[in-house]
């Protein structure tokens, strides 16, 4: 491997340490509170919610969890969100996705007070991001941007290709890169000559959800590759029934060409929770009329 390995785990730890320092320094104004709502028994979501709760407490914030049965009626979930919106001790609200099929995710997300929408998914926060106004930014794209800025310094003038057009990663990632004066292309599985489009990029953000789709010969020599994908595939070489995690990029071949690359796991993933804590701190500052810290984003 010739590429520089961008250590998301270490970087996220440094971000959480800065968040903790700010929480301690602002203690006279109260304690930031984050409420996480989990509906159903999805195993991956349960693991993720536990990690969020643990790290929230570690930085000195209050962590509140609401675990609801999978069959919870929509009206009951909306009533819970309404109560959290009105709870002055809660500054951030996160409803863990995916939701059970009978629940309308858009309706639920847009029921959250935009000022407490620490996932950055509310339509008002999406609009604020798209028009360059201050709001809540989705955590995964924000984490990607922070790692890119840490590695490159200025991103101005670089050509970026975002592979994937989801509302959670692809679209907000493109908006953030535009805000840094990149030239941005959003590509996807139906893009004509996708490999050729990716090969133009100084920055590749892979968020298409297809294991090892992007090969090394798609990468411009020296480009920076941010792999958002988390895919579990069979690993028969490790034994019957064994699996392993891979990204949307074929790591070994991409790392042989790229200038820098994030691993999977240990790259983007840890930054998502770190940026959730950043957003919760921002929400706390906004609520108390305090300036947002300038050393976190």
Task: Give the active site residues.
Answer: 52, 96, 119
> Is the link from the previous residue into 265 a cis peptide, with omega within 30 of 0?
yes
Distance CA 267, CA 189 (A): 23
Locate all alpha helices (DSSP H) within 42-104, ordered by sequence: 43-58, 74-85
Question: Phi and psi for 3 in degrees, rounded to 5?
Answer: -75, 150
Which residue do the tokens 């990663």 mark? 169
Strands 4-5 and 183-187: unpaired
Q: Which residues contact 1 (CB under 8 A, 6 or more apart)?
A: 252, 255, 256
3-state secondary structure of 149: helix
Question: Phi and psi for 85 in degrees, rounded to 5?
Answer: -60, -35
Question: Residue-wise over 259-276: b if at least 16 C-beta within 10 A, else e?
Answer: bbbbbbebbbbbbbbbbb
């Amino acid at each position: 491997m010739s590429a520089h390995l961008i250590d998301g785990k270490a970087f996220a730890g440094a971000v959480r340490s800065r968040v903790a320092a700010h929480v301690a320094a602002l203690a006279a104004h109260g304690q930031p509170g984050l409420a996480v709502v989990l509906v159903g028994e999805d195993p991956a979501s349960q693991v993720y919610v536990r990690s969020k709760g643990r790290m929230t407490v570690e930085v000195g914030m209050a962590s509140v969890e609401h675990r609801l049965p999978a069959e919870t009626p929509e009206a009951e979930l909306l009533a819970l969100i309404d109560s959290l919106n009105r709870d002055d001790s809660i500054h951030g609200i996160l409803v863990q996705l995916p939701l059970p099929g009978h629940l309308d995710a858009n309706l639920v997300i847009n029921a959250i007070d935009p000022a407490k929408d620490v996932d950055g998914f509310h339509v008002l926060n999406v609009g604020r991001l798209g028009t360059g106004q201050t709001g809540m930014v989705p955590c995964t794209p924000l984490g990607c941007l922070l790692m890119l800025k840490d590695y490159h310094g200025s991103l101005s003038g670089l050509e970026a290709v975002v592979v994937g057009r989801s509302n959670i990663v692809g679209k907000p990632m493109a908006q953030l890169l535009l805000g840094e004066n990149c030239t941005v292309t959003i590509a996807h599985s139906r893009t004509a000559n996708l490999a050729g489009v990716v090969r133009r990029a100084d920055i590749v953000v892979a968020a298409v959800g297809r294991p090892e789709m992007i090969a090394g010969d798609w990468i411009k020599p020296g480009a920076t590759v941010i792999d958002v994908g988390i895919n579990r595939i069979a690993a028969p070489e490790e034994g019957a029934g064994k699996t392993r995690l891979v990204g949307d990029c074929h790591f070994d071949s991409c790392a042989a060409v790229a200038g820098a690359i994030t691993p999977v796991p240990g790259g983007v993933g840890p930054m998502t929770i770190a940026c959730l804590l950043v957003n919760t701190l921002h929400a706390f500052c906004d609520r108390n009329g305090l300036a947002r810290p300038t050393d976190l984003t």
